[in-house]
Chain A
Amino acid sequence: MNMVDARDRGGPRQPLLTVEGLRKYFPLRNALGTVSAHVQAVDDISFTVAKGETLGVVGESGCGKSTTARLLMHLIERDAGSLLLDGDPVGSGGVSVRDLRRQVQMVFQDSYASLNPRHTAVAEIAFGLRVIGHRRAEAEAQARQTLRLVGLDPDQFAGRYPHEMSGGQRQRVNIARGLALNPRLLILDEAVSALDKSVQAQVLNLIEELKQRLNLTYLFISHDLNVVHYVSDRVLVMYLGKIVEIGPVDEIWRNAAHPYTRALFSSRLSMNPADRVVAPPLTGDPPSPVNPPSGCRFRTRCALAEPICAAVEPSLLAAGADAAHAAACHAVQAGSGHSLAGGMTHAA
C-alpha cells in the first residue's frame, strides 16, 4: 500500500521507536492518604523497535509489560525516561501526544470492554477519523473499508453493536479501529489471549497478513510463549519491571541466556502425553514489585544465585555470539564476579 511512507524521516535504519530509561512507580497510599510505598512497575528500561519488525514482549503478571505499553501510548505519564518516535522526542516541543496517537495505536485484551457499547462497529471505527476532522460520510466510508480489511463484510457488520458480535469479530473491530488512522506502530496487548484457539488462529493469520499489506510495525505483548514465537522477529523478556533478556527470536529460543527465560521455556506444557513435564523449573510465585529484591530481581527464585547477585544489579549486556542478543545476568557476564562467569573478557 504505502511502500514509501511519507512520514518516514530517518530511513529504514533509524528505529521507529526508541525508549530510554523508561520508569513508572505507582504510589501506594495508606489509610491516611500518605504514600507508604511504590509499586515499581517499570524500572529504567531501554529498548528500540525497528521499522517493520514485530517485537514480542513476554513475562508473567506484574512484570510491567502492560504498563510499558500504556506508557508508550501516553495513557499514563512516565516518571522518567524519554521516547523517540522516528528520531523525534515525544512531548515538550517534539511530537505531540495527539500526533503520537495517530502513529501509534493499541489493541487491548478485552474485546468487549474496549468497545463503546453504544457505538455500532462503523461508528466505533469512524470515531478517530471524526476526531481528526473528517466529515461523517467520509469517515464512515473509510470505516467500512477498514472493516473489509479485517475480514468483516461491512454490509453485515457495519451496523452491529458489540453485544451482537462474537469475541473474534469484536477483536477484529478493535483491530480495525486501531488501523483506521493508518498508524505506523500497532501495540497488541494480549490481543489474542482471550480468544478460543480456533478463533485465535484466524486473528493471528489476520495480524500477519495486515502487517505485510500495510507495512506495519508491531509491539506484541503476550504471556503465551508459543504465540510470541510464532509472530515475533525479536523478543523482549521482562521480570519485575526489568528487561532480563532481549534478542532475535530464534537466537533466544535456541540459546536463552537468562535463567528466568530458560525457566519460562521449561514451564511450557509439553503437548505430548508421552513426554510430560516431570519437575517444575521454579518454585513459588514472582515476588511483589512493591519491594523487589536487591541486586538481580530474579535471584530469590534463581538456582544460580550467589552473593554478587544480591549485591550488584546486573546490566543488560551482550550474551553469546549474536550481537543483538543481550541478557542481564551475572552468571553469563565474564568478569562479573559470579563463579560461573569466568574472568575472561568474553566467554566462548
Chain B
Amino acid sequence: MPRETTGQARAGRIVEVQDLSVRFVTRDADISVVQDVSFTLDAGEVLCLLGESGSGKSVTMRSLLGLLPPTARVGGRVMVSGHEVTRMTERQLESVRGPVAAMVFQEPMTAFDPVFTIGTQIAETIVSHEGISYRVARARVLELLELVQIPSAARRLDAYPHELSGGLRQRAMIALALSCSPALLLADEPTTALDATVQIQILLLLRQLQRDLGMATIFVTHDIGVACEIADRVAIMYAGRFVETGPIDTLISHPAHPYTIGLLSSTVHESSRGRPLAPIQGGPPDLADLPGGCGFAPRCVARTALCDQVRPTLIPFSTTRAAACHHPALETAPA
C-alpha cells in the first residue's frame, strides 16, 4: 500500500520495495534487467537474493542505494528507512549512504583506495557524516576494527589495503560499512572471493554482527550454501524476476518452483558422488530476447502451452511462501 506519510518508517520496517523495474538503455539497446520486484524487510531480518549471473540480484540490491550507472532507468518505488531512494538526487543520496544503508562489496581490494590507510578511510567516512574531529573518529575506528575481530587492531589502523590479507581486508570493509551504524546492511557476494577457511569466518562474523546490532541485512549470493548459513528468508531470482520466495528452511527442503528444484539438483553436494548430476538443461536466458510467457519456460521440465502464453506472477501458496509458476511442485511443499 502506498504510504506517502512523514518520511519516517513504521517501527521495524526498514525496506519496502514495490514493483521495482530497472532497464539499461543505451543508443542501440534497451534491456530489462529487473522486473516487478516487490518485497519488504524488517529490522533484524536477513534476506538473501539468490540467483545465477545475470538474474538481476546485484542490480536489485544496488537500486536500494541508488548505485546504478547513468544508463539505468528505474521504475517503481524503493523506500529505505522512510527515504524514497528512487526519487532522491545524488546529493540527497549521499546522506543515505552510510547512516541509513551501507554496502559490503565482493572485492575489498578495489573497494578501498590503495593510497590511503584503512584507518584514514574509515575515519574520513565518520568525520564527513557526523562532523566530529578526526581524533575522535580515529578512536571510533579502533573500536570498529576490534568489533570486526581484526587482531592487533591498533597496528592495522595505519596499514594500507595491500598490506592486509584478503580476510582482513574484508573485515576492514565490514568495519567501514558499519562505521555510521546503518539500519540496513547490503552485502554483495562478500565471501565469494575468499578461501573456504576464511569464508566461513567472515560469514559467522556477519551473522554475529547482524544479530548483535539488529540490522536488516540483504545478502546477494549465487551460492545456496551461503544462503543456508545466513538467511532468514530467500528470494530466488531468474531473468530479472523473483520466481520463488520463502523462509530458507522450507524453501530448501521443499522447493516449489522448477528453477529452484533444478538449481538444487545441479548443486554438487556431499552425497552427489557416484551419481550423474541432474542439471537444468539449456543455457542462461538472453535478457534482450526473453520469451513472452514464463522466462524459465525454455529450460523447464514442467513446461506447458500455458507457460509460453501467460507470464506467471508471484502468488502466495502458504502464509510464508510464494512462487511465480503455473505448475509449482506444491504437493511436496508444506502448507
Binding site for B on A (CB under 8 A): 60-61, 166-169, 196-202, 204-205, 208, 223-227, 229-230, 249, 263-264, 267-274, 276-286
Contact = CB atoms under 8 A, between A and B. Distances in A.
Contacts of A283: 201
Interface stretch (B109-117, B136-144, B218-226): B218-226
Nearest to B283: A166
B198 interface: yes
Interface in B254-308: 262-263, 265-270, 272-273, 276-281, 283-284
Contacts of A205: 276-277, 279
A202 B279 contact: yes
B280 A198 contact: yes
B267 A201 contact: yes
Contact of B269 (A202, A226, A249, A280): A226
Given A199-B284, A279-B204, A280-B197, A271 B224 contact: yes
Contacts of B278: 201
Nearest to A228: B268
B249 A274 contact: yes
A285 B199 CA distance: 10
A69 to B, nearest CB: 18
Contacts of A284: 151, 165, 167
B248 A273 contact: yes
Given A198-B263, A230-B273, A271-B228, A166 B200 contact: no
B198 to A, nearest CB: 6
Q: Is the interface of B mostly helix, strand, loop or mixed?
A: helix
Given A267-B200, A270-B225, A285-B198, A169 B165 contact: no
Most chain A Cβ neighbours within 10 Å, of B151, B249, B283: B283
B305 to A, nearest CB: 24
Given A169-B283, A273-B252, A60 B196 contact: yes
B41 to A, nearest CB: 18
B166 interface: yes
Contacts of A282: 197, 201
B268 A226 contact: yes
A60 B195 CA distance: 6
Contacts of A274: 249
B263 A197 contact: yes
